[in-house]
């Protein structure tokens, strides 16, 4: 607007410089020309700030602004330190754009208890959270501590009980270990073949590096192999038709013909194993496992077909925790050419019997009480102190029901 401003609007006019340079509260009150208005505003500010812990007394605050001379008479409408000759409208200070942030409600803490599983998780927003990292993830070069924690959290979400025990399978490579680029592709092909043969199967797998103690080409090298917890697989199953380059099952009259091929000394494929099986015979699943892994690797070394896999049925919850802690949760420094690529994953998530997730909201004080109980529990079981300073606290316990009862008690306890 180019026209002259009214007296009321001139008292609160903003200069261009004031938009980016907020002035103090004293300057804002001092800018009011009318002494009565200035006195009334000073009293209202004093009443508003009196309950707060300010650095000056209420009486001194009121006296400070009541004794201020009028800007129009004492200072001539000019701010101290301001160059003379500026237009009157430009010399009038404006309201500060600075403000006090509103009081936000304290974030609610969440507690997750996985029924029939092993995980209790406490999330406390704002506690020990690092600044967000906007950098893109680079190439995977090792099995980090955070990746190991995510794997342990995932495994401990699975329900373990009667009829829910998995198989524990191990798949190793022959003496001629494939390259680091081929290993992920081979494992993915094996998982796809297993899913086609057994659509109800679900896997949680982990890659591990270990120094080879036998062989000729790879002895002394740190080479990969795979572990997996598998659900939905049968103990025995009837034969079915299967076609492949190194393993075949085909119908031969009233029987099934089981054929395994190998690479001969002349470099040509030959039949290494050829057997007839009755149509009513049910074979162990470990035979299918060995054949599928042998077909996926495709080296033609028949010794790999006979000794490349291992399968065991987990019989108890303690057995699951043993396999997870000894094999799947093992740390690795990643000093190998096969350390690149993914280190663990989940296949067919819907076929895995996850525990029932229960979420409870707690105040920050009650969540801290729960974390102290977790810390004392870990100290009693491990024999040493444990620091739990992060925003997320994970407890892997064999009895999640007792922790669920503790959480329910905290919800009913007075704040």
Return the minimum-mean-pLDDT range out of 30-34, 89-93, 196-200, 409-413: 89-93
Can you read off the two tokens belonging to residue 265?
A: 């000394």
- Report yes or no on 318 lying in a domain: yes
Cα–Cα distance measured from residue 72 to residue 63, given in angstroms and rounded to the nearest whole number: 20
pLDDT of amino acid 31 = 60
Q: Is a pLDDT exceeding 90 seen at residue 199?
A: yes
215 and 358 in a single domain? The answer is no
pLDDT of amino acid 154 = 93
At residue 270, φ and ψ (nearest 5 deg) are: -140, 160
Report which of 172, 173, 119, 62 is spatially closest to residue 359, judged by C-alpha positions.
119
If one compares 109 and 46, the residue with the highest pLDDT of the two is 109
174 and 316 in a single domain? The answer is yes
pLDDT in tens, 356-367: 999 999 998 999
Chain-centre distance of CA 192, in angstroms? 26
Q: Is a pLDDT exceeding 50 seen at residue 76?
A: no
Return the minimum-mean-pLDDT range out of 49-63, 86-100, 250-264, 278-292: 86-100
The number of domains in the chain is 3
Q: Which runs of consecutive H residues, i.e. helices, occur in 156-273?
A: 182-197
pLDDT of amino acid 334 = 56
- Report yes or no on 348 lying in a domain: no
pLDDT of amino acid 178 = 92
The mean pLDDT of 290-302, rounded to a whole number, is 93
Cα–Cα distance measured from residue 386 to residue 372, given in angstroms and rounded to the nearest whole number: 10
52 and 146 in a single domain? The answer is no
252 and 321 in a single domain? The answer is yes
CB atoms under 10 Å from CB of 287, counted, come to: 15
- Report yes or no on 406 lying in a domain: yes
Q: Is a pLDDT exceeding 50 seen at residue 71?
A: no
pLDDT of amino acid 321 = 77
201 and 86 in a single domain? The answer is no
The mean pLDDT of 113-121, rounded to a whole number, is 91
Highest mean pLDDT among 125-134, 153-162, 294-303, 397-406: 294-303
Cα–Cα distance measured from residue 114 to residue 121, given in angstroms and rounded to the nearest whole number: 9
Range of the domain at 402: 107-131+139-159+354-415
pLDDT of amino acid 130 = 58
- Report yes or no on 347 lying in a domain: no
Mean per-residue pLDDT over the chain, rounded: 78
Cα–Cα distance measured from residue 32 to residue 94, given in angstroms and rounded to the nearest whole number: 10
pLDDT in tens, 206-222: 999 988 888 888 888 88
Bridge partners, 229 (sequence order): 168, 204
Cα–Cα distance measured from residue 11 to residue 72, given in angstroms and rounded to the nearest whole number: 11
327 and 228 in a single domain? The answer is yes
CB contact burial 212-229 (16+ within 10 A = b; e otherwise): beebeebeeebbbbbbbb
The mean pLDDT of 257-261, rounded to a whole number, is 93
Q: Which runs of consecutive H residues, i.e. helices, occur in 241-301?
A: 285-297
335 and 365 in a single domain? The answer is no
pLDDT of amino acid 82 = 46
Are the beta carbons of 88 and 77 closer than 8 angstroms?
yes
204 and 334 in a single domain? The answer is yes
Angle in degrees, CA 325, 348, 283, rounded to 5: 85
- Report yes or no on 47 lying in a domain: yes
- Report yes or no on 102 lying in a domain: no
């Amino acid at each position: 607007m180019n026209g002259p401003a009214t007296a009321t609007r001139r008292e609160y006019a903003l200069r261009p410089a004031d938009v980016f340079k907020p002035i103090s509260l004293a300057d804002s009150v001092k800018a009011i020309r009318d002494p009565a208005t200035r006195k009334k505003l000073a009293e209202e500010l004093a009443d508003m700030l009196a309950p707060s812990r300010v650095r000056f007394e209420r009486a001194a605050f009121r006296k400070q602004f009541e004794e201020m001379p009028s800007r129009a008479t004492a200072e001539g409408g000019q701010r101290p330190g301001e160059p003379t000759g500026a237009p009157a409208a430009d010399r009038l200070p404006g309201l500060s754009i600075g403000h006090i942030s509103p009081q936000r409600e304290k974030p609610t803490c969440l507690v997750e208890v996985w029924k029939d599983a092993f995980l209790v998780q406490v999330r406390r927003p704002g506690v020990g959270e690092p600044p967000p990292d906007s950098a893109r993830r680079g190439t995977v070069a090792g099995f980090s501590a955070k990746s190991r924690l995510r794997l342990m959290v995932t495994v401990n979400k699975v329900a373990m009980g009667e009829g829910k025990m998995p198989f524990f399978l191990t798949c190793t490579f022959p003496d001629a270990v494939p390259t680091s680029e081929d290993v992920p592709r081979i494992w993915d092909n094996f998982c796809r073949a297993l899913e086609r043969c057994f659509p109800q199967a679900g896997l949680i797998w982990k890659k591990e590096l270990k120094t080879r103690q036998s062989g000729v080409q790879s002895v002394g090298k740190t080479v990969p192999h795979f572990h997996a917890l598998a659900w939905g697989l049968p103990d025995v199953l009837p034969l079915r038709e299967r076609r492949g380059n190194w393993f075949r099952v085909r119908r031969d009259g009233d029987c099934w013909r089981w054929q395994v091929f190998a690479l001969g000394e002349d470099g040509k494929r030959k039949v290494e194993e050829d057997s007839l099986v009755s149509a009513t015979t049910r074979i162990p699943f470990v035979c299918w496992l060995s054949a599928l892994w042998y077909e996926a690797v495709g080296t033609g070394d028949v010794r790999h077909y006979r000794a490349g896999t291992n399968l065991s049925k987990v019989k108890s919850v303690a057995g699951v925790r043993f396999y997870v802690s000894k094999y799947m949760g093992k740390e690795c420094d990643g000093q190998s050419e096969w350390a690149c690529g993914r280190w663990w994953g989940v296949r067919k998530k819907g076929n895995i019997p996850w525990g029932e997730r229960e979420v409870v909201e707690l105040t920050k004080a009650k969540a801290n009480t729960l974390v102290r109980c977790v810390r004392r529990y870990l100290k009693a079981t491990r024999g040493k102190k444990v620091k739990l300073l992060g925003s997320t606290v994970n407890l892997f316990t064999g009895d999640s029901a007792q922790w669920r009862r503790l959480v329910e008690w905290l919800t009913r306890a007075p704040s």
